[in-house]
């Protein structure tokens, strides 16, 4: 690898290192499930409302309707956010076990607090944490990671906003993990790429590195979820056991 | 695949175990059959009792299940049903005559907004859940006011988490036995995250409500200490001073 691998990045990370995560579950009082997720300086709040009774054309006779809306830091939701909403909806329609509760509606609301790169991946991870805390039935745990392609043979995982702008292409890669440990099976559930990736080799190698990163995120999601249902090493739902 | 059952925390997508031919297993909340495998769809601790398997999740929203005792609030009435809000994603139906000893002429009249203690008798993914206030094997008519199920008059309805209700109903949380040592009260606990309490004065109801909510994240030892101190504080405050 070239300069990045040897010199490191501005914030001292290695090329394939993701930023630290911080999470606060149950951040919103009224939502059925919610969290505030920090991924480096990127920060989002996600809330899940549902399952609610679907009304009007949202009512699907055979499955749950999933609604995603993204609120920016200020102003209206711009067109590119509408596109993000659609991309997220596609991922979560697949993730939620929709056939279990027909004619219901699950509403995902995301508030962007701060954008410092990898925003979409942070949104996906935050939504997944909220879905788990709301107890919405899911087929797998989705986790996501951003890859930023730089010079001919360099790519960075979990780029900051500056690194995202410097690169010539950005891909958001999402995996769905099905456990149990030690070897969870994974499948690619979302891949959106903007820009031009220089070669096939770098593309496939970025896929395998991002898979490792997604697995780390998956383990983080598991850890947070398990801890939220446990007090002092005892089960919250079953103190006698 | 999971072979041991105690204290296993499962996540959505976790394959629990393979079904053999002739296995007789009842699956409950949070588990789905996919092909010949049982797969978890919710995060939580895996439980097994006899041939029943289920996942216990700390979720806020109630999902009706047959046999659950619930506290609902009447939101509407038609010629044959009360529509009752039980906290699920759709309202539940309570037939007008599903009360002990009720006839067309002589039946309870619930107004919109009244709380009712009932049990879930049928749940189907394609229709609304059905409730009933009948309890087979009882002699009391609804008129006497001594039935187990029926309208909950006066008192206070508390909204809390489903896991708290479950722990209270299963006897893991001893908040009511502890409180009963000091204060006389009536209570009804619904599986849908609602608890109703009635006591002699408004002050007692407020104290009970707060203690019940607080009991969720405490161990039983901590709880008995807290109840003792708060009750003694309250009795000194409420006793008439001269």
**CATH number for the domain harbouring residue B142:** 2.40.50.140
pTM above 0.90, yes or no: no
Whether residue B170 sits in one domain with residue B127:
no
The lowest-confidence range among A68-82, A220-234, B76-90, B212-226 is A220-234
pLDDT at residue B242 in the model: 43
* CA–CA distance, B71 with B53 (Å, rounded to integer): 25
Q: Which residues partner with B37 through β-bridges?
A: B18, B34
pLDDT at residue B173 in the model: 85
Please report whether residue B26 resides in a domain.
yes
Please report whether residue B19 resides in a domain.
yes
In 3D space, the residue among A24, A74, A63, A30 whose CA is nearest the CA of residue A48 turns out to be: A30
Set of chain B residues whose Cβ sits within 8 Å of the Cβ of A140: 12-13
> In the listed set B129, B152, B175, which residue is the last one of a domain according to the structure?
B152
| Beta carbons of B61 and A135 less than 8 Å apart | yes
* Strand residue runs (E) in A1-103: 21-25, 33-39, 42-53, 65-71
**According to CATH, what is the number of the domain A3-235?**
3.30.230.70
The encoded tokens of residue A205 equal 């190698």
pLDDT at residue A218 in the model: 93
Give CA separation, A33 vs A229, B11, B190, B235, in Å.
13, 16, 21, 39
Only one residue has tokens 């001292």, namely A12
Which of the two residues, B15 and A231, has the higher pLDDT score?
Answer: B15
Please report whether residue B37 resides in a domain.
yes
Residue A6, pLDDT > 60, answer: no
Count of domains in chain B?
Answer: 3
Please report whether residue B22 resides in a domain.
yes
Residue B217 belongs to domain with CATH number: 3.30.1370.10
Please report whether residue B4 resides in a domain.
no
| Beta carbons of B10 and A180 less than 8 Å apart | yes
* DSSP helix/strand/coil, A169: strand
The lowest-confidence range among A70-74, A136-140, A223-227, B58-62 is B58-62
Residue A156, pLDDT > 70, answer: yes
pLDDT at residue A235 in the model: 45
pLDDT at residue A15 in the model: 86
Residue A174, pLDDT > 60, answer: yes
The lowest-confidence range among A125-134, A150-159, B4-13, B146-155 is B4-13
Q: What is the CA radius of gyration of chain A?
A: 18
Instruction: Please give the residue range of the domain that contains residue B209.
Output: 156-238
User: Residue A234 — very low, low, confident or very high, per pLDDT cuts 50/70/90?
Assistant: very low
Which H helix or E strand runs over B202?
helix B202-214
Q: Burial level of B76, CB count in 10 A (0-12/13-18/19+)? A: exposed
pLDDT at residue A236 in the model: 42
Set of chain B residues whose Cβ sits within 8 Å of the Cβ of A231: 217, 219
CA atoms within 13 A on the CB side of A127: 34
When the pLDDT of each residue in chain A is averaged and rounded to a whole number, the result is 87
Please report whether residue B114 resides in a domain.
yes
Question: Per-residue DSSP letters for B17-28?
Answer: EEPPTT---EE-
User: Residue A233 — very low, low, confident or very high, per pLDDT cuts 50/70/90?
Assistant: very low
Smallest Cβ–Cβ distance between B172 and the set A32, A228, A238 belongs to A238
Averaged over successive runs of 10 residues, the pLDDT of chain B (242 residues) comes to 68 88 85 89 89 86 90 94 90 92 89 94 89 86 85 91 87 88 92 92 90 85 87 74 46
ipTM over 0.90: no
Smallest Cβ–Cβ distance between A239 and the set B15, B126, B219 belongs to B219
Please report whether residue B61 resides in a domain.
no
Q: What angle do the packed helices B202-214 and B220-238 form, to 10 degrees?
A: 160
C-alpha distance from B133 to closest chain A C-alpha (Å): 25
Whether residue B107 sits in one domain with residue B45:
no
Domain extents in chain A = 3-235
Set of chain B residues whose Cβ sits within 8 Å of the Cβ of A225: 11, 43
């Amino acid at each position: 690898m070239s300069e990045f691998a040897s010199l490191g990045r501005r914030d001292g990370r290695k090329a394939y290192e993701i930023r630290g995560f911080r999470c606060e579950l149950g951040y919103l009082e009224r939502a059925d499930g919610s969290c505030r997720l920090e991924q480096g300086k990127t920060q989002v709040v996600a809330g899940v409302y549902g399952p609610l009774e679907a009304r009007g054309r949202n009512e699907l006779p055979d499955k749950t309707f999933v609604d995603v809306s993204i609120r920016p830091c200020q102003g209206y939701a711009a067109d590119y956010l509408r596109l993000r909403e659609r991309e997220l909806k596609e991922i979560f329609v697949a993730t939620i076990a929709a056939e279990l509760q027909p004619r219901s509606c699950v509403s995902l609301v995301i508030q962007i607090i701060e954008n410092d790169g990898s925003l979409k991946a942070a949104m996906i991870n935050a939504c997944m944490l909220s879905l788990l805390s709301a107890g919405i039935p899911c087929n797998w745990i989705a986790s996501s990671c951003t890859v930023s392609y730089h010079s001919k043979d360099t790519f960075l995982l979990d780029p900051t906003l500056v690194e995202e702008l410097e690169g010539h292409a950005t891909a958001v890669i999402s995996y769905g993990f099905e456990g149990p440990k030690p070897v969870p099976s994974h499948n690619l559930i979302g891949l959106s790429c903007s820009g031009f990736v220089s070669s096939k080799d770098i593309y496939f190698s970025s896929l395998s590195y991002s898979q490792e990163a997604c697995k780390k995120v998956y383990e983080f999601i598991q850890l947070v979820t398990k801890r939220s249902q446990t007090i002092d090493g005892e089960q919250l739902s079953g103190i006698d056991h | 695949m999971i072979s041991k059952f105690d204290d296993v925390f499962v996540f959505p997508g976790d394959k629990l175990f393979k079904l053999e031919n002739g296995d007789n297993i009842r699956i409950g909340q949070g588990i789905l059959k996919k092909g010949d495998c049982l797969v978890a769809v919710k995060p939580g601790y895996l439980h097994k009792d006899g041939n029943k398997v289920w996942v216990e999740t700390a979720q806020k929203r109630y999902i009706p299940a047959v046999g659950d005792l619930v506290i609902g609030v009447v939101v509407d009435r038609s010629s044959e049903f009360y529509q009752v809000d039980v906290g699920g994603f759709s309202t539940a139906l309570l037939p007008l005559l599903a009360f002990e000893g009720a006839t067309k002429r002589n039946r309870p009249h619930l107004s919109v907004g009244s709380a009712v203690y009932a049990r879930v008798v049928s749940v189907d993914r394609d229709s609304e859940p059905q409730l009933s206030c009948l309890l087979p094997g009882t002699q009391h008519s609804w008129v006497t006011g001594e039935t187990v199920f029926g309208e909950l008059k006066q008192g206070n309805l508390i909204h809390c988490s489903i896991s708290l209700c479950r722990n209270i109903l299963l006897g893991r949380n001893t908040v009511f036995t502890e409180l009963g040592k000091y204060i006389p009260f009536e209570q009804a606990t619904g599986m849908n995250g609602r608890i109703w309490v009635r006591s002699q004065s408004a002050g007692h109801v407020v104290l009970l409500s707060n203690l019940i909510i607080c009991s969720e994240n405490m161990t039983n030892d901590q709880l008995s200490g807290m109840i003792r101190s708060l009750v003694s504080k309250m009795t000194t405050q409420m006793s008439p001073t001269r």
